[in-house]
Amino acid sequence: MLFSCPFLNAQVTKAPEQPYTLLYGIDNTLKLTAADTPDSCLLVRMEGGEVRKYGNGLYALTVLTDSPRVHLDLYDTCRNTLIDRRFCQVKSLPIAIELGKHRGGPISAAAFKAHGGLSARVTGLDIQATLPVIGFRVVFFSRTKDQTWEGYNSGGRFEGRVLEQLQTVSAGDVVIFRQISYRSPGPRGEQLRFSEQELIFEIR
């Protein structure tokens, strides 16, 4: 399965899954054939999306619905018959929230302070791309002060009070990033999404 990604300005190769998995915000390129039907007679239509043919058996599929599942209808136009219906799951781009390349766990104070913010990285595809982080909540347990501080950071980079607090971390402290929001391509352009990840760092 090939994905041509205009939003990410990249093209990637991905093994086919059953059922087919389509991603929001990109042109999902599939090779579709049907036994006993010449390519010149094959017509592919998709419920809730657009289909563009650009090569021998190659089709670019763009999802235009919020539904988590769509279906493809394959017609033999020479015999005027529906020959197959194939179902597809629809998912958002796979994302990993990271501090540098860290996703939580033990980390030295120096290594923690060396990073300036969080990123939302596209994973599972043969590309290097990130999506814009809109904001997140921070919970900071200070062992030295024996107190808890909470705040909200706008954007991916640490700013204002969040930056001030995180630059004071020391051994024994715990920092939690949660309710992380980012923008991801969807059926109607970029959409606000929330990550299910919660990053917990134990400062050494």
- Cα–Cα distances (Å) from 87 to 17, 25, 152, in that order, read 11, 19, 41
Q: What is the pLDDT of residue 24?
A: 85
AA letter at 76:
D
Q: Over the stretch 85-120, which tens digit does the pLDDT of each residue have? A: 989 999 888 999 999 999 999 999 999 999 999 999
Q: What is the pLDDT of residue 127?
A: 66
Whether a cis peptide bond, with omega within 30° of 0, leads into 19 is yes
Q: Which of 13, 52, 58 is nearest to 32 (CA)?
A: 58
Is the pTM here over 0.85, yes or no?
no
Phi, psi of 160 (to 5 degrees): 55, -130
CA distance 70 to 67: 7
CB atoms within 10 A of CB 13: 10
Domain at 2-91: CATH code: 2.60.40
Q: What is the pLDDT of residue 143?
A: 92
Higher per-residue confidence, 59 vs 24: 59
Q: Over the stretch 139-198, which tens digit does the pLDDT of each residue have? A: 999 998 899 999 999 999 999 999 999 999 999 999 999 999 999 887 767 789 999 999
Q: Over the stretch 36-77, which tens digit does the pLDDT of each residue have? A: 899 999 999 998 899 999 989 899 999 988 888 999 999 999
Which tokens go with 118?
A: 């969080």
Domains in the chain: boundaries: 2-91, 95-203
